[in-house]
Amino acid sequence: MKIMTCPVNGPRPLQEFVYGGDLTEMPCPDQATDEQWAAYVFERDGAPGLHKEWWYHAPSGVWFIAERDTGTDEICRTYLYND
Amino acid sequence: MPHRLLRFGLSKKYNEPRMFRSPEQLKKSYDVVIIGAGGHGLATAYYLARDHGITNVAVLERAYIGGGGTGRNTAIVRANYLTPEGVAFYDESVRLFQDLSADFDLNLFYSQRGHFTLAHSDASLRTMRWRAEVNKHLGVDSELVDTAFIKEKCPHIDLSCGGHAPVMGALFHPPGAIARHDAVAWGYGRGADQRGVEIHQQTEVTGILVEGDKVTGVQTNRGTVETSKVVCAVAGYTPPLLEMVGIKTPLVIQPLQACVSEPLKPWLDTIIVSASLHLYVSQSSRGELVTGASLDPYPIHSTRSTLDFVEGLSGHLLDLFPFLGDVKIMRQWAGLSDVTPDFSPIMGLSPVEGFYLDAGWGTWGFKATPVCGKTMSYTVAENKPHPLIEPFRLSRFKEFELVGEKGAASVGH
């Protein structure tokens, strides 16, 4: 069974977690051009490598960041957004 | 063992004709280089040579022919999509598929079965009706049917679905078919090869040469070739290639798993799909049940298989066909799906001149093989997008003109 470490609840089985997409930087909605906004909404870094991702621990409702290698599926680090 | 077979096996000289040549060296330059010798790449090469007279073409393949999505899908061919753009496109593909065996002089085991998409809720029944109406409007044979009709065509099904999600009706698509997917790649490969196209296996692209905004060549592990036109037809392996030319896309790679059971006597004529249960199943000509599910829940660039998948899939299969309880799963595998946010492909021209995209094939690539070949070869030869693929251009994201294709496999309703 694959285990992920929730920053609040500790090591838990992966089935308890939900993937929430890549962590992306939102441009200022008032100042961004349509092109910048489209890039923010749609463009993704799809190549294999280390990604910063949003993950959700469903039983406790915790959203956090995981650094994961999408090539090897190795979870390197998990932490709360503010950390 | 028959004597002749034994002698053939032990003889040093194999007289069986090969499907295609294996050229020893890359030429210095080609008119078109196609990256990826899957169904799409080979079909593009085939139609370039047959319909457009462009034969100085190389198809480069990192591994072996048809070893990616082409050999890993569940071999279903259908046209009952939801958007008018999608229906017109896939309908053309179904039509091309129907003549393909004769075209190739190769038996593709193309078998028209009838395709049921089951609805387990009012909401999905509404989507099925919507799809049926769009399909009929565009001349595709497709209709909403009741449970009595499903039971008549597929007597073994448990319509109560184990009691928790009873089937309420279905979208029925008579032209729905299955085909032998490897043979599709071989047929296109052989046809292209006979017309002068070179297929280079074990040839990995390591770089794409761009001068200004124009493609000038391709670097491989076997040397560099000059070309002004490159077609990228590598589905799940697209993002690293696009990094070489600096093109950004919304593609995200997620594995799609499938499995086959041990062979059974023929009992399942039709193709049964349930979006709510994330299940599709058909019986191959060898008697195996070919089943697939939805995408893995998060991106990984790996074709590993999981026990989670087989457990979930088997549970859902038993909901519909409880008598399969003792049947064994024979093997399972995964393929990489390059998924787009609107579940439509990304095809046509790109910001780099001479670099053509055939990507975003998620869970819908195999059935599109012939029409992709047709439209991509036109696009490359004329350097303008074929009208059928115009809606699938990469720039639709910037223009906020998405083609929301909820008729795709593994999209819940």
At B1-43, the pLDDT tens digits run: 678 888 877 887 766 778 899 999 999 999 999 999 999 999 9
User: Chain B residue with minimal CA distance to A19?
Assistant: B298
Q: Are residues B164 and B258 in the same domain?
A: yes
Rounded to the nearest angstrom, the gap between the alpha carbon of residue B270 and the centroid of all alpha carbons in its chain is: 20
Surface-to-core class of residue B80, CB atoms within 10 Å of its CB (0-12 exposed, 13-18 middle, 19+ buried): buried
Question: Chain B contacts of A44, Cβ < 8 Å?
Answer: 248-252
User: Chain A residue with minimal CA distance to B241?
Assistant: A47
- Say which amino acid occupies B251: L
pLDDT for A40 equals 95
Listed in sequence order, the residues at least 6 apart from B178 whose beta carbon sits closer than 8 Å to its beta carbon are B75, B76, B77, B109, B110, B111, B113, B271, B282, B284, B290
Residue A37 in contact with partner chain B when CB distance is under 8 A: no
Q: Are residues B296 and B149 in the same domain?
A: yes
Q: Are residues B138 and B121 in the same domain?
A: yes
- Domain positions in chain A are 3-26+33-79
Q: Could you write out the DSSP letters of every residue in B363-405?
A: TTSGGGHHHHHHHHHHHHHHTS--TTTGGG-GGGTTTT-----
Where does a domain end: B305, B339, B373?
B339
Structural domain includes residue B291: yes
User: Chain A residue with minimal CA distance to B340?
Assistant: A42
Structural domain includes residue B7: no
For residue B290, what are the CA distances in angstroms to B86, B273, B314, B317? 25, 12, 12, 11
Structural domain includes residue B106: no
Cβ atoms of B26 and B203 within 8 Å: the answer is: yes
Listed in sequence order, the residues at least 6 apart from B49 whose beta carbon sits closer than 8 Å to its beta carbon are B55, B57, B191, B192, B195, B196, B197
**CA–CA gap between residue B82 and residue B339 (Å, rounded):** 17
pLDDT for B252 equals 95
| Interface touch A70/B297, C-beta < 8 Å | no
Q: Are residues B325 and B260 in the same domain?
A: yes
Residue B338 in contact with partner chain A when CB distance is under 8 A: yes
Q: Are residues B190 and B309 in the same domain?
A: no
Structural domain includes residue B8: no
Listed in sequence order, the residues at least 6 apart from A16 whose beta carbon sits closer than 8 Å to its beta carbon are A4, A6, A57, A58, A59
**Which secondary-structure segment (H or E) carries B215?**
strand B214-220
pLDDT for B411 equals 59
ipTM for the assembly:
0.93
Q: Are residues B197 and B230 in the same domain?
A: yes
At B122, which CATH number?
3.30.9.10
Q: Are residues B362 and B227 in the same domain?
A: yes
Tell me the average pLDDT across A29-43.
94
Q: Are residues B167 and B32 in the same domain?
A: no
Listed in sequence order, the residues at least 6 apart from B171 whose beta carbon sits closer than 8 Å to its beta carbon are B80, B116, B117, B119, B128, B131, B132, B142, B143, B144, B145
Structural domain includes residue B300: yes
Residue A18 in contact with partner chain B when CB distance is under 8 A: yes
Structural domain includes residue B171: yes
Q: pLDDT per residue over B184-211, tens digit each? A: 999 999 999 999 999 999 999 999 999 9
Q: Are residues B350 and B335 in the same domain?
A: no
The 10 Å Cβ neighbour count of residue B150 is 20
pTM, rounded to two decimals:
0.94
Residue A48 in contact with partner chain B when CB distance is under 8 A: yes
**Both tokens of residue B5?**
């077979």
Low-confidence ranges of chain B (pLDDT < 50): 413
User: Chain B residue with minimal CA distance to A20?
Assistant: B298
Q: Are residues B132 and B166 in the same domain?
A: yes
B96 in helix, strand or coil?
Answer: helix
pLDDT for B413 equals 41
Q: Are residues B214 and B126 in the same domain?
A: no
Domain that holds residue B303: 112-175+252-339
For residue A58, what are the CA distances in angstroms to A61, B373, B412? 5, 44, 20
| Interface touch B301/A44, C-beta < 8 Å | no
| Interface touch B297/A18, C-beta < 8 Å | yes
Q: Are residues B241 and B273 in the same domain?
A: no
CATH no. of A3-26+33-79:
3.30.2270.10
pLDDT for B8 equals 78
At B37, which CATH number?
3.50.50.60
Strands, sheet with A50-57, edge to edge from the N-terminal-most edge strand: A17-22, A50-57, A62-69, A74-79
Listed in sequence order, the residues at least 6 apart from B4 whose beta carbon sits closer than 8 Å to its beta carbon are none
User: Which residue intervals of B235-363 are DSSP H helices?
Assistant: 238-245, 307-320
Would you say residue A83 has pLDDT above 90? no
Structural domain includes residue B89: no
* Beta bridge partners of residue A56, listed in sequence order: A18, A63
Q: How many domains does chain B have?
A: 2
**CA–CA gap between residue B334 and residue B342 (Å, rounded):** 22
Cβ atoms of B262 and B288 within 8 Å: the answer is: yes
Rounded to a whole number, what is the distance in Å from the CA of A11 to chain B's nearest CA? 19
